[in-house]
Amino acid sequence: MKSNGTQNELLTLPVEGMTCASCVARVEKALKKVDGVEIANVNLATEAVSLSFDSLKTGLPALAAAVEEAGYTLVVPEESTEFRSDPAEPLGVYSRQEKSYRQLKKELAASLLFALPVMLLSMLSMTDWFMSAVPMQMETLNKILFLLTTPVMIIAGRRFFKPAWQQAQHFAADMNTLISMGTGAAYFYSTFAVLFREWIHLPVRSVYFDSAAMIIVLMIMGKMLEARAKQKSSEAIKGLLAAQPKIAHVMRNNAVIDIPMKNIRIGDTIVVRPGERLPADGTITRGHSSLDESMISGESMPVEKQAGDPVIGGTINETGSFEFRADAVGAGTVIAHIVKSVEEAQGSKAPIQHLADKIASVFVPIVMVIAFLTFAGWFFIGGSGFTPAMINAITVLVIACPCALGLATPTAIMVGTGRGASLGILIKNAESLERAQNLQVVAFDKTGTITRGKPSVTELFTAAGADQGKMLTYAASLERTSEHPLARAITAAAMDRSLSSLETDAFQSRTGFGVVGTIHGEPVAVGNEQLMMQEGIDIGSAAEFIRKIAGDGKTSVFVAVNKKLCGVAAVADTILPESKEAVANLKKAGIETVMLTGDTAQTAQVIAGQAGIGRIFSGLLPEQKALKIKALQAEGKIVAMVGDGINDAPALAQADVSIAMSSGTDIAMETADITIMKSDLRGVVRAIVLSRRTMRTIRQNLFWAFIYNAIGIPLAAFGFLNPIFAAAAMALSSVSVVSNSLRLRTIQI
């Protein structure tokens, strides 16, 4: 993307070494200092950064160096960062999640092997019966505890100690610092008490190997549960990535051969058999079938397809075999666009997160100060002695981890946008998701949004003595070459009745009126009332029918044969069956509905009445629709515009939230804040409900993350918490935040 001497690059890259909200703030700060970086949004849940930078001013080596200077690692790809040609292969972030989870399981198993005996022996050593029954001195038991705890500190503890040391070298601190200081103090103090007891004369029971070992184990367990929960939060995307088959049946040299999906070329003819998934997007050239498109649109019912119809890669062929031409492969497919859209949304940052980011940037230093004051207060003021003061300070360090704070927003965004994708709702970014919760007005375009967008024949009037089949056959024969919407409606009605077209002579189009011609020597005229007047044809016998359909907002198409009225077809762009339900649900949610249309007032009134919309603006040009949106906003209302993303572009751009209706192959998501992948207005309702539920989950997460620290730190400072309980509570706080976000996966909307 180039403009004004710049060359902007948009990338999402993994960042290794991040563990909490403080890490997020530090990486963002480091990247934003690099000249040429415009946007740097770090997501703790995905452990990645979304970057926008001017490649004429900086490059990946400079960005990687800045992140490394901050104490972390930016994973720079060796190959192109474009979407893989084979979406069935998992993207890097999901592979890393699985690898991280497996590694944590190994570390937990190894740590438990040593930590459980430490805990058991420590508890038993507090009983007189055990010490009298076991033929060993307390000094010997302490040495055994030291030998058992040391592998825990080395095997699992290095996960915290290594990054803490790296941060210290950069005069920084994060979650790893807190854990390392807490467990390190307990371990090294106990080690000194065991190995050099004669130097410092500590009581033989003044060891805390159990605290050091169990804190590490509980932290690893918490991170493992968190990693597992993160995997579940991205299941929607992984499902899309796995949707396309790896093998395609392609016609080459008049023979069907099996080739890897990534080798399909645009224009290839592909054969699909019953039960198979489509390997690319395209158009059916031979055969017909019903396809399960639920993964794209959220529609549970199969969709009938025949020659000429578009098909989408990853959907399932349920019945017959057919052939289709590949029109889009790899990065150009609908699935690729969806995955890209959802990943960008998951990597974006909601405005509500800014408060958490500000707190996280100073949180760890404040906690370290509180821990120091806790030690000083107990030791110098309380006179409790070194050991109790140290334990209380350790407890403060352990319980005050800002992990939950860092995960509160991004995990909910990840799950919410993923759930939206599974329902056929694509959300552009977290900001759009947050704005949608506050909508007060939803303005609809009429054609193709509330209505089907394709006029159809709804009623027929046949004059006395005339034949309805002949009337439709003659009308369709004249109209078959026309691209006018009314002409297509007439020809479609004839096809539905299996009526064949006839050859026409002396064909003539009368612009603005209709068409005339000759069929089997009989003059035929098809058009509006003005054409009938020009041809001198009496339409009086249809007067009552004409008045009725005019009142319903329908258009009359007259058919005359041999200068006599043969019949009238009522043509209308009918309302979609789901539109009325969607409008009613929006009203229940307290949202006002408005129609903006270029149609006549009479037609607009009829359609609005059928849909249940009370406020109508008709006869509008595209620019005038935008002005109406602006006027609604001037009333102090937050407004969404729902349209097709093309003709309604000015109004969509003006709206606070733009919602585009898409057939699945029309990727209006490039410009809209929200794209509904099916022509069903209930998707608009679902998007708003999803926004409200997601933002409610984020507020719950932030509340509990804040309240947890607000309660936990004072309790630890005043000596009401044991370090092991503090570690368990801290680990569970992160798991609870992620688990709360995961509830969005199953919400019914």
Strand ranges inside 288-321, DSSP E: 289-292, 303-305, 310-311, 316-317
List, as one string, the DSSP characters of 533-547. HHTT---GGGHHHHH
Q: What whole-number distance in Å separates Cα of residue 687 and Cα of residue 187?
A: 52
Do 568 and 486 form a contact (C-beta atoms < 8 A)? no
DSSP character for 388? Answer: H
Q: What whole-number distance in Å separates Cα of residue 457 and Cα of residue 532?
A: 19
Element housing 31 (H / E): helix 21-32
Q: Within 13 Å, how many C-alpha atoms sit on residue 59's CB side? A: 3
DSSP character for 635? Answer: T
SS (H, E, C) 445-491: EHHHHHECCCCEEEEEEECCCCCHHHHHHHHHHHHCCCCCHHHHHHH
Give the C-alpha distances (Å, rounded to integers) separating 619 from 382, 483, 604, 639, 646: 81, 23, 9, 20, 18
Sequence-separated (6 or more) residues with CB below 8 Å from residue 67: 15, 27, 30, 31, 73, 74
**Dihedral of alpha carbons 481, 486, 492, 496, sign:** negative
Q: What whole-number distance in Å separates Cα of residue 390 and Cα of residue 188?
A: 12
Q: What whole-number distance in Å separates Cα of residue 669 and Cα of residue 652?
A: 12
Sequence-separated (6 or more) residues with CB below 8 Å from residue 452: 573, 574, 575, 576, 679
Q: What whole-number distance in Å separates Cα of residue 273 and Cα of residue 100?
A: 39
Residue 482 structure tokens: 């026309």
Sequence-separated (6 or more) residues with CB below 8 Å from residue 14: 47, 48, 74, 75, 92, 93, 96
Q: Residue 445's beta-bridge partner residues?
A: 596
Sequence-separated (6 or more) residues with CB below 8 Å from residue 741: 233, 407, 411, 412, 414, 415, 416, 697, 701
Closest CA to 293 of 343, 332, 329, 335: 335
Q: What radius of gyration, in Å, describes the C-alpha atoms of the chain?
A: 34
Residue numbers annotated as active site: 445
